[in-house]
Structure 1
C-alpha cells in the first residue's frame, strides 16, 4: 500500500468521532468461567470524517482529498484531536514526556512510543508518524538539540542520535503525532438538500499498520 505523507485537513477532523478499537476473543466454559485472549498486540483506531463537515466548501475539500487518495487505495495522516501529543491535553510536549529507551553506549537509533498507564497495567503504543519539527529529546535528563545532536525520521518515527547515548542513560522524548489511516470506503454519498438539513454523510476512516 502506498502512503501519502499528507494530513487530512485538521479543521475537518476536529469535529470527528472516533478512538481505539481492540479485538478480544472470549470463550465461555461449561463451569461459567471465561477464557479471554487477543490476537492484536496493538489497538486500531477508527474515525468518522463526515461529522466534521460544516459547509459545502468542507464537502468539496473532503471529496478532493478522497479522490486524490483514490478512495481506500492510499493511506494518509490524520490528527486525532483527542490524542495527538506525548503530554497531557492541557500541556505542551516536553523532552521528559516519554521514555523511549535506555542507552548502552552503542545503539544510536530509537523508536518513538507513548505509554498508556492505569494502575499496574501499561501499554506502549508505537508512534510511526510524528509531526515534523515537534520532536524533542534528551539523554539522562539533558535536553539535546534537534538536527545537531539527533535527527528525526518523521515518516517512520525514528530518532537517530549523533553519538550513542551513554550506558544506562534514560532516553526520553516529547512530540506531536498523527495517526496513519486510510478511508474505509470507496464511496461517498452526499445530498446537498440533506446536508443543508443537517444530515451528514458517513465517511469511515481506519488506522493502518505500517
Structure 2
C-alpha cells in the first residue's frame, strides 16, 4: 500500500472512538411494489470519530502530533478498532483455530488472513506483528514453519512445510484497520475542550 506509515494511532484514544462498518447498496423500487437490491461494494468500509476518545489534554496533544506527522489525510496508518480487533470474540483468547483460511493442495504456500462474519469473508491486511498463530488440521505450527507479511496479511509457509492436499488451515490473530484522517484540518478550541465539548476527528478505512 503506497502512502502508508506503519505506525498505530494512539491506542488509548482509539478505544474511546465511535464508529463501525458501512456497506453501499442500491435499492430499486419496482412497479410491482417489490424491490431489487444490489450490492455496490464487495467489502465493507469502516468509519470512526476519534474525538469521543479524547479524555485529557495529553490525549489531544498526542492526536495533534500524530495528525501533523501524517500530514492530514496524506498518509494512512494503523487504527485499532475498539469493537473488532481480534480473530475471536471479545473476552476470549486468540486461538490458532479461530478463523478458517482455506484448504491446502500440496502446492499453494500462501494464504490470506481472513475474518468471517457468517458467509462474509473479510480480508485482514494489517495483523499485529507477533500475534498470528497458525494451525494445519488442528495442529499448531511453530513460527519457523511460516512467515507473516504484516503489511498484506499473507501467511507464507516455508519450503517443506506446505500444507498437504485437503488440509484445513486456520489462524488466530489480533489486527488493525488501515485508515487515514478523513479531513485535512482539525478545528479545536481549548476553551470548548475545557467546557466538555468534544472535537470531531473523522477517520476512514482505506482499501489497497
Q: Does 1:66 align with 2:67?
A: yes
- Per the normalisation by structure 2, the TM-score is 0.97
- Aligned counterparts of 2:126 and 2:168: Cα–Cα separation in 1: 22
- Cα displacement (A) at 1:123: 0.5
- 1:153 is aligned, of 134, 144, 149, to 149
- 1:125 is aligned, of 114, 122, 125, to 122
Match of 1:29 in 2: 30
1:90-169 to structure 2, matched below 5 A, reads: 90-117=91-118, 122-146=119-143, 148-162=144-158, 163-169=161-167
- Aligned counterparts of 1:27 and 1:64: Cα–Cα separation in 2: 46
1:2-17 to structure 2, matched below 5 A, reads: 2-17=3-18
Q: Specify every segment of 5 or more residues in structure 2 that has no aligned partner in the other structure, as ranges.
A: none
- Aligned counterparts of 1:157 and 1:204: Cα–Cα separation in 2: 25
Per-residue CA shift, 1:83-129, capped at 9, x if unaligned? 00100101011000011010000011111000101xxxx10000000
Structure 1 counterpart SS, 2:63 = helix
- Cα displacement (A) at 1:39: 1.3
- Aligned counterparts of 1:112 and 1:105: Cα–Cα separation in 2: 19
Q: Specify every segment of 5 or more residues in structure 1 that has no aligned partner in the other structure, as ranges.
A: none
Per-residue CA shift, 1:145-198, capped at 9, x if unaligned? 11x111111111010111210100000000000000000000101111100111
- Per the normalisation by structure 1, the TM-score is 0.96
Per-residue CA shift, 1:34-83, capped at 9, x if unaligned? 11101100000000011111111111111100010010100000001210
- Aligned counterparts of 1:143 and 1:8: Cα–Cα separation in 2: 31
> What is the number of equivalent residue pairs in this alignment?
205
Match of 1:182 in 2: 180
Structure 1 counterpart SS, 2:68 = helix
- Cα displacement (A) at 1:3: 0.3
List structure 1 segments (4+ residues) > 4 angstroms apart after TM superposition: none
- Aligned counterparts of 2:48 and 2:196: Cα–Cα separation in 1: 19
